[in-house]
Amino acid sequence: MSKKVFPVSQQQLEKIIEKYPTPFHIYDEKAIRLNMRRLFKAFAWAPGFREYYAVKALPNPRILQILREEGAGADCSSLPELILSEKAGITGERIMLTSNDTPADEFQKAIELGAIINLDDISHIEYLEQNAGLPKIMSFRYNPGSIVGGNDIIGKPEEAKYGLTRKQLFKAYKIMQQKGVGRFGLHTMVISNELNDNAFVATAKMMFKLAVDLKNQLGISLEFINLGGGIGIPYRPEEHEVNLEAVGQGIERVYKEILVPAGLDSTEIAFESGRAITGPYGYLVATVLHEKKTYKDYIGLDASMANLMRPGMYGAYHHIVVVGKEDKPCTKIYDITGSLCENCDKFAINRNLPEIQIGDRVVIFDTGAHGHSMGFNYNGKLRSAELLLREDGEVELIRRAETMTDYFATLTGFSGSIM
């Protein structure tokens, strides 16, 4: 079981709202720092353990700065993410560019920063060389195909657009050897939001065996093996969190069984966790605007799918509490909705909650990853602010809310006052 507790009192929340109107996302700095330390401790046995935080999960430079201070690097998939990482003080081989269908300017910026480039396709070798040159260290993303299952978020590997087949992988490394590249890494990403501890050990075992084959056939001693992300979080209160300590011990066991006897005992292990690091420590705070009674009972918030896409996109569960009513019985059944002109704009369907009144504050949990970052402007909705609950208890604005001026700023041939 996972206990869902909002780290802000009702009284403190009302003071925050006086300054920063709802909706907004707020992140718990102390919890994020402690969680990052837990991950590093679980892999303290591994030589040079690396965590490349998946910037796409929460692309805010203030958050990236905090994670850098705790030892993390950055996993990037676009030019803006590379620049965000740079602004947060993350440079060099603490950045890994793992993009796909990659334009030249992304490769060029990665080379400029000295980042590790993780190629998604064998055809990208020539494109990279022609448009940006070859880096000192090269990694490739492995797609194992049907030997590994998938899920609704990441899809089945054999149907995914990501990565190289085994045959392509060996050919790609050989090409890079012939081009004079002498430093190599290996990467995969085959699971997403996984709660089964054994799944991560199985991925490690698959990748370690592949690393031994690369050494035996091509003479490559990999500098690192990036096992991807995919560590899930318990969105539902009845779910259990991943046991990072058990995962670390399991991967250590197969490391010693497979890599050490092959002379690969200095190979570093890396993850690119995003959701697992910040996801549980972000919260979307909203205010109840309306109650609609037709065939069902609907509660309308001032937030919408534009602020949190996951429930509408994936049918994902996010826990919801009504502030001040956490201990009251859940005697009502509601659909919790936003105001978009889309029927999928629902945070919850048939959810048992306490009786709700207009003006109540609602907290939606586990929005610290793929929450604000997946926002959009459909229906002219403006993206919300992001706040940081600092370790000292103060609240810091780390991204202001969008305004209509922002919304209209990119239009051409548009004149006159907005308001």
Please list, residue by residue across 358-378, b when 16 or more beta carbons sit within 10 angstroms of its beta carbon and e when fewer do: eebbbbbbbbbbbbbbbbeee
Q: Which of 76, 330, 341, 344 is catalytic?
A: 341
Token couple for 148: 């590994």
Alpha-carbon gap, residue 169 to 229, rounded angstroms: 20
User: Beta strand pairing status for 137-142 and 183-188?
Assistant: parallel
- Asked about 341 being catalytic, the answer comes back as yes
Q: Specify whether the CB–CB gap between 188 and 144 falls below 8 A.
A: yes
Q: CA 107 to CA 90: how far, in whole Å?
A: 17
* Kind plus residue range of the DSSP H or E element containing 256: none
Between CA 60 and CA 89 the distance in angstroms is 13
Nearest to 211 by CA among 256, 258, 266: 258
The single-letter code of the amino acid at 102 is T
CA–CA dist 378, 358 (Å, integer): 25
Alpha-carbon gap, residue 143 to 188, rounded angstroms:
7
Q: How many CA atoms lie within 13 A of 8 on its CB side?
A: 33
The residues that are catalytic are 341
